[in-house]
Amino acid sequence: MERKQFELGDVVEMKKPHPCGTNEMEIIRMGMDIRIKCVGCKHSVLIPRLKFEKSLKKVLRRAENSAEQGGE
Ligand SMILES: [Zn+2]
């Protein structure tokens, strides 16, 4: 089974949009539980990793501070 790839700082789209109407969540903490922050209303929620993986639709944007910037 394919595992979805996500990292700290990524902005993801969930299967269900947040009640505020925004469907962009930023991963702000990783661990046993994942803390995501709604990009629209800045509300953050802590959800178990398994539940997060199930409700994750796709990764919209990768974390910008990635090491693979290229150049010098
Ligand atoms: Zn929201």
- Contact of 19 with 41, CB cutoff 8 Å: no
Phi, psi torsion values for 13, nearest 5 degrees:
-110, 130
Q: Rounded to the nearest whole angstrom, what is the distance from the C-alpha of residue 38 to the centroid of ligand 1? A: 5
Q: Rounded to the nearest whole angstrom, what is the distance from the C-alpha of residue 43 to the centroid of ligand 1? A: 6
Q: Rounded to the nearest whole angstrom, what is the distance from the C-alpha of residue 4 to the centroid of ligand 1? A: 23
CA distance 15 to 66: 25
CA distance 20 to 68: 34
Around ion ligand 1, residues with a beta carbon closer than 5 Å are 18, 20, 22, 38, 40-41
Domain coordinates in residue numbering, the chain: 11-61
Indicate the pTM of the whole model: 0.82
CA distance 64 to 39: 15
| Diameter over CA atoms, the chain | 42
Here the tokens at position 69 are 């910037």
Q: What is the pLDDT of residues 15-61, one digit of tens each?
A: 999 999 999 999 999 999 999 999 999 999 999 999 999 999 999 99
